[in-house]
Amino acid sequence: MKKVSVSILNSKNIEDDLIRINSSNADYIHIDVGDGSFIERRRDPIKELKGIEAALTKRLDVHLMVDNPESYILSYSELNTEYITIHCEIKKDILNILDDIKSYGIKRGLAISPDTDISFLEPFLDDIEMIIVMGVIPGKSGQSFIYNTINKVNEIKELIGDRNILISVDGGINYETNKLLNNDIAVSETYILSGEDINKRIESLR
């Protein structure tokens, strides 16, 4: 059964949506962070998260779409965070950053954008617990799903082999696209939060 991580990237009222997701049957709350450089959008809901930290019981799945993830890791490590994911495309010492994440007892993830070859992941497969495969161009909510993601997920599965690495797909996920994917985690915002019964929408992705 797949797990479901609900995003708040496009939320107009972050605190309300966080409480709503926290009360749902979602497995994770997916937190997108953008720096205005790696992606055009600047977004960092750390203030809202810390403001209602005591009320949140769901684990956080933090996706750093930023050029310099080092400056965000400490703040998010202080929350109820299970995963912190950085992008394999950043011009940084990725292994050192993954080691930094691990030092806080947090699981490490690498995200890969649609136009990036999966060979960029290969040097780090023994140092991560999750791969986020982007089903859209990072940073914009509500985009159409890129169907080549289906093949990319299958190729990454082969590359992983018997390693214990989960594959999460983020972007363009709804009932129809998710059922085509051999993923472990589905990340969705628009499909889930636009429904009247978000628990029903979440269950449809499992």
Q: Token pair of 9, please?
A: 């990237």
DSSP 197: -
Which pLDDT score is estimated for 196?
87
Q: Which domain holds residue 50?
A: 3-204
Which residues are paired to 130 by β-bridges? 109, 166
pTM confidence score: 0.96
Q: Are 86 and 109 in contact (CB under 8 A)?
A: yes
Q: pLDDT tens-digit profile of 153-179?
A: 999 999 999 999 999 999 999 999 999
Which residues are paired to 185 by β-bridges? 3, 168
Q: pLDDT tens-digit profile of 63-117?
A: 999 999 999 999 999 999 999 999 999 999 999 999 999 999 999 999 999 999 9
Total of domains in the chain? 1
Q: What are phi and psi of 70, to 5 degrees?
A: -55, -35
- Token pair 């010492």 is at which residue? 93
The domain spanning residue 22 has which CATH number?
3.20.20.70
Q: Token pair of 16, please?
A: 């309300």
- Nearest CA-CA partner of 114 in 76, 152, 88: 152
Q: pLDDT tens-digit profile of 122-159?
A: 999 999 999 999 999 997 666 799 999 999 999 999 99
Q: How far apart are CA 39 and CA 183, in angstroms?
A: 24
Query: What is the per-residue burial (b if ≥16 Cβ within 10 Å, else e) of 121-130?
Result: beebeeebbb
